[in-house]
Structure 1
Amino acid sequence: MNEFEQGRNRSPRGPIGLMKRVYKYVLPEVRSCLDSWRKDAEGIPDPELRKQALASIETKQFHCEGGGIYAAGNLSMRHILIPLIVAYQTISDYLDNLCDRSTSLDPADFRLLHKSMLDAVTPGAEPVNYYALRTEQNDGGYLHRLVRKCQEMTSRLPGYGAATEEVYNLAVLYTDLQVYKHIHPELREAALKEWWEKEGYRAPHLQWNEFAAATGSTLGVFMLFLASCDPKLSTVASSSIRAAYFPHVCGLHIMLDYLIDQDEDRAGGDLNFCNYYENTDMMLNRIASIVEWARKDVRSLPENSMHRMIIEGLLALYLSDPKVSEQREVRSVSRRLMKNSPLTRLFFFVNSRWIRKHMY
């Protein structure tokens, strides 16, 4: 392997190198994959399923773009990583739309829908009728094709066998969250707290809303996809990688997402994990603590500079969102989180704004 190829297999060492890869490879290839799925979704026969599939791609494109950054950690495997990340995130976003704006409040329906995410990370699993418990049925095979794409790509990752159990466990937690957070509004909080009583031992220092938020992130799964590019990956290493991401990096990701969506969720009657603090100061202090725990966790990872950049990039991406300026309380929290920011975070902040302005 020559020096150029070795460089493509390594994570970028600094923010400029990372963004070069993002602009040159990640964004164009993610958008190409999404265009294909958009065309596929346009052919969904059921009007409600078609509406939600197209809306999820239209409004949540940046989820796939953010996830695609993990392909920058190994450019020589991006032909597998990018289609895999885009397909898996597209399933997540599509099902989130179906459940958020659901014609059903049946937890069994939500669990069956999300079985697709468990099957997607299990090569060889046979897809079923994931819509069997709801009125809308005919998606023309759209969800099955997404599941099959994930299975095809994971089966081509040379180290995936060692990561399968950790990926599956994260997908189970994600599924549980989606079931409990989408049931009847009067039942949600009690169901989530009861679930936390069973599962919270995984992170006893987190409050129930913070633990729930951590389970809602796909970043731990994407990191394990990246790690699976290594044919020498072991189950021990996979466990360590999962622990470096879950719960703190994952929790930071989703708490920031909920932070900027407070007005939107209030209007839609959706549950928001930032609304369970006594006051703004407590919310700020807890998010700041999660940032520090996340930074400490990723130090254990090999080539950890990329993962430190991802933490700074998460803060920059969410705190530069236009929604921040529209909410007085969120604007105040954002200013305080950005205070005394390292140069890396400021660099990503500027890039996030530039991408939004010039590439959408």
Structure 2
Amino acid sequence: MGKLTEAAAFYAKFAGKVLPEAYRQRNAAREELRQCPMASAARSGATEEDTLPGRFDAKKACCFLFSMCPGADYKDLVSFMLSLHYIAETLEMYRKKKDIRDEKEIRDLLVCLSAAVDPSRNLVCNVAAMGIDQPAVQLRNRSVMQLENRPPLMCHAERCRLKLAVLPSHMHVSAKIKKYMQMYIDLQSYRHYPPVISREMLKTWSSNHLRRFREISCWELCAAADTFLGIAAMYAAASIPDITDEEVHLLDEVCFPWLSGFCSMLDALVSARTSHDPEELNFSSFYKNLKECEERLIFFAEKTDAACRKLKDSSLYLLITRAAAGLYLSDPEATFGMLRLTVSNIIRKTSLRLHSNAGLLLRNLRLIY
């Protein structure tokens, strides 16, 4: 009963405090953005509300799970992750609107993400992404009250930087956070070329990293790079004043490639049927069949569990990682066709029934979709 009681308390806090706080902040963000001097600038085809939809998807909710870590202020972590996702989604909307596919142009666009997770560098954002006909804006480190004429994009970037800078152990985790963000940007920079070109570029890029991660494929590494989960985990870790370099190293082994890869591959698997862009890479499509996909996901789940058991608060991290998997495994798309059998086998072989049911309950409560 001990583990069931712990899990019940975990989900009660997540559903009763963390997710309601995330919705409160997301709703308040609309008003805050309107108060930014440039927030009312006209933008054809999209508004800032486009990045603030109804219910949270599993990708964001998984990041919020790390607010349950010891020492983490759940309100601050939620605020940080909401702002980081806002930046990424806003820039992706702009990229799609302008049909930007060139690597250099994408890197120039995403430099705002790099600055958002690195308070030591100048804040540079392409404000054209907000529909403002101006060149890129650059700001040196200054307090929020000193910043004038900031577009919403920069409001969020500055919020991320300030929240990171005041964390007691930020310097211990900064290299990991920057590494995760750089891999995310690398992936986005290569994935939007025509499929034949992008696949070759991603193979070449991933080959350097695969020298270290010999147990995974090129596409599994790409999937692991396509998420902010590791950044959320390291943000929570930076809230611990006396965290050691060894503890950060062990957490890094959990996050990349195992947890990030596991969740990203689950996301790709359950979203494959509803993908509307034939040129969009779905990393689960590179497996020969669903059986191979199932076996690899079980492998990632086992590796994630094994890495978690090395951590100081292993029982809590196991709860977090399994809860993250449960959010994807409870997706309604997981019940269609042969995918239903695959998901059922994954749940059974990884002992994720409790967490899949918890994810389903969160969906029924309309806390996530």
Distance 1:216 1:49, change over 3 A: farther
Superposition pairs for residues 255-270 of structure 1, below 5 Å? 255-265=265-275, 267-270=277-280
Instruction: Tell me the equivalent position of 2:123.
Output: 127
Q: Percent identity?
A: 19
Let me know the Cα RMSD of the aligned residues: 2.6
CA distance in 2, matches of 1:125, 1:48: 31
Distance 1:138 1:192, change over 3 A: same
Instruction: Tell me the equivalent position of 2:339.
Output: 330
Counting helix residues as a fraction of each chain, which structure ranks higher? 1
> Pick from 337, 343, 358: which aligns with 1:351?
358
Superposition pairs for residues 1-360 of structure 1, below 5 Å? 14-39=6-31, 43=39, 45-48=41-44, 50-51=46-47, 53-58=48-53, 61-62=56-57, 63-74=59-70, 77-99=73-95, 103-131=99-127, 136-137=131-132, 141-265=151-275, 267-325=277-335, 327-339=336-348, 342=351, 345-359=352-366
SS at match of 1:204: coil
Summarize deviations over 1:277-333 as a string: whole Å, max 9, x none: 1122111111111111111111111111122122322332112111223x4232231
1:147, distance to aligned residue in structure 2 (A): 0.7
Summarize deviations over 1:22-72 as a string: whole Å, max 9, x none: 122201111112113344567453434744x43333167233333112112
Contact between 2:330 and 2:356, CA under 8 Å: does it hold in 1?
yes
Distance 1:199 1:46, change over 3 A: farther
Distance 1:300 1:260, change over 3 A: same
**Unpaired segments ≥5 residues, structure 1:** 1-11
1:235, distance to aligned residue in structure 2 (A): 3.2
Contact between 1:123 and 1:152, CA under 8 Å: does it hold in 2?
yes
Q: What is the count of residue pairs matched by the alignment?
A: 344
* TM-score, length of structure 1 as denominator length: 0.86
CA distance in 1, matches of 2:127, 2:189: 15
CA distance in 2, matches of 1:85, 1:306: 20
Distance 1:119 1:317, change over 3 A: same
1:100, distance to aligned residue in structure 2 (A): 5.3
Contact between 1:100 and 1:270, CA under 8 Å: does it hold in 2?
no
1:239, distance to aligned residue in structure 2 (A): 2.3
1:227, distance to aligned residue in structure 2 (A): 0.9
CA distance in 1, matches of 2:80, 2:233: 12
1:99, distance to aligned residue in structure 2 (A): 4.0
**RCO higher in 1 or 2 (8 Å CA, sep ≥ 6)?**
2
Distance 1:352 1:48, change over 3 A: farther
Contact between 1:100 and 1:182, CA under 8 Å: does it hold in 2?
no
Distance 1:186 1:38, change over 3 A: farther
